[in-house]
A and B are shown apart, each in its own frame.
Chain A
């Protein structure tokens, strides 16, 4: 009995020490996290004040050189405050709206520094931004000072943020910033075009029935003509309506989504075990090319293949009629099994709504003048990519090779055929 009591006493002491240590560790972590969050809030507040000053300064100077610094400050500070906000456990909707506003402000300043925003428009927008930032700064200081002054416990802070019904202060601030975004940086037509995925709601074709879509799916993918299917509709709030078909046959299980308007294939994906056999890259490409044609995508070209352990991923892009330029935004992706080349995935979401392409001048560019002597131009072709205003622009797509004793680097550079502006520069593996 004595021994048992002794053992129990020791066990209780050990447990007590363990619990005490755990509690201490937890508190230390909470203090550390709270310090970090407080630091982020203070940092964001200081930068917000600096941002206000920079916005004011950017409206004062007419001289380009004098205006350059405040513009760069706006771009840098908005990006830094965005990082502060992203690292704070604030109410989700407020974080979203505030980051969106800051991102747009930074982008706008960058466009102005590149002379892509006329002065009168810049002054109009920036004067609004300056007033809005002043009002917002006051609200932000009040909200965060109250938060810090409360000296509330970390758990209470977390609880408030996660609350089903967020506090009125933050909801109010969220609405305020949303209003600023709508007034200061409304979506342009081009930006709306960029949202081509969500714009699928604008397809002007007749709706198809569930039976028609299932029939179409079985005809496109005959391997599933006897599969068990479950078809559901998108939820009423979905930006564009679609049918979601889940299927199962033998070792294969997958889904296919089709638009309700026009019955276009959005994407399809199958999961199945992959055997040890391997088809060659040449065979795989033939199968991929045959497959896209059988799906009715006749105006595309294979531009990229990527081999991984079990699958090949293949990219096709649309060729613009007339100049045969590649339209990278109108892409189709295919996934093929490495064992027999079976098509295990199709993604045509971006292809469904074709990009609007406008006529554009072609100015001859002397690459010897354009690039340094350290590089050589290996190939040149035409393709479309979007500029910062999110418009599709015709470009010279140039593959540039830079060789040195340490190795070679390949860059894919897209230069606007009319303005000679470099719209994209990408280092390739």
Chain B
């Protein structure tokens, strides 16, 4: 009987210990340290917990930008932690202790494309904004250099897929780079959409192939070009020598060949 009592108390203690741990640090966040530039579920949790205690007021979107950075620094200052804007183990443990995170609610709202907040002290159902565009499919979030938008990425991915889906990866990055080189050049329209939809500029626009759904590879190629890669070495034009008949395009100074395209100045 005494042995059973001891066993029972051990089991109870273990369960208690498990329950205490499971509500705090071990359940919160992954092991990785996160900072400016990070992206993903850990950042969603960080933003949600910071918002729960009123320190983060921007959109919960999983992108560790400056809004998250300043909120985290304020949190570190408030709780006597080293102020570095980096969510390391000590910061994450403290945050998990003082702020709650309703993972199911937050991820559901993000998946549904709703506008919402996650403040403590207000019922969560009252924090979903009623609006006309609620539930609209959200574009895939991507972290881009400041001068480009998600729309630029999407349009360029459509153009690259329509123009060069059969080309090697380098050739796809090259087509995206030509679009960007034109945006920067004074001889062309100065927006991505202006360049892509300039009449007769791209075959894919003329024959409608631009409206095909781009694959992930085309998006990655565009992302590399937006981040600065230019395998064309500053080309403004390209053409397929097997099909091009215009004397004008053949007369352009040629730079290099990638796949089936000749890139020129």
Contacts and interface: CB of A to CB of B under 8 A. Distances in A.
B255 interface: yes
Interface stretch (B13-21, B124-132, B156-164, B227-235): B227-235
Interface stretch (A56-64, A214-222, A253-261, A364-372): A253-261
Interface string A140-152: 0000000000000
Contact of B170 (A93, A232, A255): A255
Given A83-B189, A164-B245, A408-B70, A349 B255 contact: no
A239 B34 contact: no
A69 interface: no
A269 interface: yes
Interface string B225-265: 00111110110000000000111100001111100001011
Nearest to A283: B32
Interface stretch (A8-16, A17-25, A46-54, A97-105): A97-105
A277 interface: no
Contact of A162 (B189, B200, B223): B200
B145 to A, nearest CB: 8
Contact size range, B = 35 or more
A100 B189 contact: no
A350 B227 CA distance: 13
B33 A281 contact: yes
B199 to A, nearest CB: 4
A165 B39 contact: no
B227 A335 contact: yes
Contacts of B36: 305
Contacts of B142: 308-309
Interface string A378-420: 1000000000000000000001010101111110000000000
Interface stretch (B4-12, B59-67, B90-98, B99-107): B59-67
Interface residues of A, number: 78
Interface stretch (A84-92, A111-119, A130-138): A84-92
A325 B66 CA distance: 22
Nearest to B223: A308
B233 A266 contact: yes
Question: Chain B interface secondary structure, helix, strand, loop or mixed?
Answer: loop
Interface string B164-177: 00001110010000
A298 to B, nearest CB: 20
A267 interface: yes
A68 interface: no
A281 B32 contact: yes
B169 A253 contact: yes
A312 B38 CA distance: 9
B227 A166 contact: no
B234 A197 contact: yes
A96 B199 contact: no
B150 to A, nearest CB: 11
Contacts of B198: 86-87, 95
A43 interface: no
Contacts of B34: 281
B67 A92 contact: no
Nearest to A255: B170
Contacts of B220: 310-311
B170 A234 contact: no
A136 to B, nearest CB: 17
A428 B257 CA distance: 37
A311 B219 CA distance: 12
23 contacts: A89-B200, A92-B201, A92-B248, A100-B187, A103-B190, A165-B247, A166-B248, A237-B265, A239-B234, A254-B170, A280-B33, A307-B39, A313-B223, A333-B228, A335-B224, A349-B230, A401-B66, A408-B57, A408-B67, A408-B71, A409-B67, A410-B70, A429-B146
Given A305-B37, A347-B230, 16 more contacts: A87-B199, A164-B246, A235-B253, A238-B253, A238-B254, A238-B265, A244-B256, A255-B231, A266-B233, A278-B32, A280-B33, A281-B33, A308-B142, A312-B37, A313-B223, A408-B58
Interface of A: 82-83, 86-90, 92-93, 95-97, 99-100, 103-104, 161-166, 197-198, 232, 234-240, 242, 244, 246, 253-255, 257, 266-267, 269, 271, 278, 280-282, 304-313, 331, 333, 335, 345, 347, 349-350, 378, 399, 401, 403, 405-410, 426-429
